Amino acid sequence: MELHPPKDLVNADLAIARYGDDGERWLSAMWQGDALADAVVNDDFVGSSATEAVRTALEHGIDAVDHAPESLRALFAFLDDEPDWVDHTRLDRAADALIRHTASLGIVLAAASLLRGAENTIAGKPLVQTGRYVSMPAIRSVEVGEWLRQVISPGGMRRDGAGFAYTVRVRIIHAHVRRGLSRSGTWDEAAWGVPIPQPFMAFTMAEFGHIALDAMHRLGVRFSDADLDAIYHLWRYVGHVIGMTLDLNPVDEADHVRIEELYRLTSPGPDDNDREFVVALTDDYLIPELANALPGPPAARSVISTRLVHGLQRVFLGDDAADALGVPNTRLKHVIRATEPLMVGFGRVRMRIGGGPQQVSQRGYRIRDEEMTRMRAAYGVTHELVDNAPGEHEIAATRASVH
């Protein structure tokens, strides 16, 4: 059967020539969403809604949902059947390892992972069309941070864990967005594929996985092989719960790297919407957050944090990608690169004086929770995810997404 990828993707022939079956799967899956979740949001619910029914089933089980349609039963049959390969000891180890470096993780997710995602204009179009791309980067960052807080916690991804529940809620949010955009009359499926397709879901796992880990490495963070194995295991299970198909859900570092390469290879590049997003994220969120953590007068903190953020973005992205996204150049990037060995040494000292890995992890969870409380207050965020944000009704108005 002849393969017809979305028209706006580039280098389709090269993707197949270079990656073979993996390239073909990547291109064909641009037409594939999440059959189980999409069926739920397109179904009828008696005296309830898809969002309410999912939350009831998460908390009390599927039998607690009155008149549960077959689509919901099918979704929860999948969710309640935990794969044999899941190892909760490794999931907890991943949480402990990541939380020891909670400050670095927060920086790289915003300054590296989100900007890597912005290199592909097709991936950003659901956020553009729902009005959440440029208008509220800080609020979106808090929403993603709240989801991460639940996922990166001991027991968070158990069936009764908050991370599991939040991930299923994100899955349903994505399905609502697909339905809303498909019905909007403004989505060009022939050019872009389906909204939030499987390949871009896979890339999101890479954003939280290898892309973040590579950027943290540049900041001097060093994980053991066992910690890295656990971290990739965590994102594999998150991918499973969030609706990734078996053939695209990344298992290990090699899968993450291949996904990143296919994402960049087939991307038409960023457009003005992506560059506006980078400016908004940087100016409205990253720079103020970093300035808040620095000592000294406000004016000096603002200047230093601006140059430091731009330098970090240049280091994480490389100059070509940074130029394409309009990130200002700064000589501070050379200083940041040169300090990596010093940061490695600082990390080892920090671990010793902090009482060892277990004590540093416990402190990391506490600091993370305190920071989330501060940020929620600073940006006026009273909801958890966009599915219960003030003014959002069933996400049907297509003003919803969590990246």
What mean pLDDT comes out for the span 31-38?
98
pLDDT given for residue 348 in this prediction: 87
Q: Tell which wins on pLDDT, 135 or 286.
A: 286
Query: What per-residue confidence (pLDDT) applies to 392?
Result: 53
pLDDT for position 124 = 94
* pLDDT on residue 2: 64
Check whether 91 has a pLDDT greater than 80. yes
Residue 397 has pLDDT above 50, yes or no: no
**Residue whose tokens read 């029914």:** 53
- Residue 133 to residue 90: CA distance in whole angstroms: 34
- Sorted by where each begins, the domain ranges of the chain are 86-395
Question: Residue 57 pLDDT > 60, yes or no?
Answer: yes
User: Average pLDDT of 46-52?
Assistant: 90
Report residue 4 as tokens: 């017809």
Cβ-contact 125, 398 below 8 angstroms:
no
Q: What is the spatial distance between Cα 86 and Cα 84, in angstroms, rounded to a whole number? A: 6
**In the predicted model, what is the mean pLDDT of residues 165-177?**
98
pLDDT of amino acid 131: 81
User: Locate tokens 């008149």: which residue?
Assistant: 67
pLDDT for 403 beyond 80: no
336: closest CA among 206, 213, 217, 207?
A: 217
At residue 251's C-alpha, the angle toward residues 200 and 122, to 5°, is 10
pLDDT at 347: 87
Cβ neighbours of residue 368 under 8 Å, at least 6 residues apart? 99, 102, 149
Position 123, amino acid: A
Name the band, by pLDDT with cuts 50, 70 and 90, for residue 393.
very low
Look at residue 36 and tell me whether its pLDDT is greater than 80: yes
> What pLDDT is stored for residue 47 in this prediction?
83
SS (H, E, C) the chain: CCCCCCCCCCCHHHHHHHHCHHHHHHHHHHHCCCHHHHHHHCCCCCCCCHHHHHHHHHHHCHHHCCCCCHHHHHHHHHHHCCCCCCCHHHHHHHHHHHHCCHHHHHHHHHHHHHHHHCCCHHHHHHHHHHCCCCCCHHHHHHHHHHHHHHHCCCCCCCCCCHHHHHHHHHHHHHHHHHHHHHHHCCCCHHHHCCCCCHHHHHHHHHHHHHHHHHHHHHCCCCCCHHHHHHHHHHHHHHHHHHCCCCCCCCCCHHHHHHHHHHHHHHCCCCCHHHHHHHHHHHHHHHHHHHHHHCCCCHHHHHHHHHHHHHHHHHHHHCHHHHHHCCCCCCCHHHHHHHCHHHHHHHHHHHHHHCCCHHHHHHHHHHHHHHHHHHHHHHCCCCCCCHHHCCCCCCCCCCCCCCC
Mean pLDDT of 314-329: 97
Report percent pLDDT > 70 for the chain: 96
Q: State residue 270's pLDDT score.
A: 97
Residue 399 has pLDDT above 80, yes or no: no
Tens-digit pLDDT profile for residues 351-361: 889 899 999 99
Average pLDDT over residues 226-247: 98
- Residue 294: how many CB atoms within 10 A of its CB? 13
Q: Is the pLDDT of residue 261 over 80?
A: yes
99/101 Cα distance (integer angstroms): 5
Q: What was the pLDDT predicted at 401? A: 39
Question: Average pLDDT, whole number, for the chain?
Answer: 93
Inform me whether the pLDDT recorded for 1 exceeds 60. no
Instruction: Identify which has the larger pLDDT, 131 or 71.
Output: 71
pLDDT band at 136 (very low <50, low <70, confident <90, very high): confident
- Which is higher by pLDDT, 398 or 354? 354
Q: What is the mean pLDDT of residues 163-170?
A: 98
Residue 236 above 90 pLDDT? yes
Residue 327: pLDDT band with limits 50, 70, 90: very high
Band (396; pLDDT cuts 50, 70, 90):
very low
Q: What is the pLDDT of residue 319?
A: 97
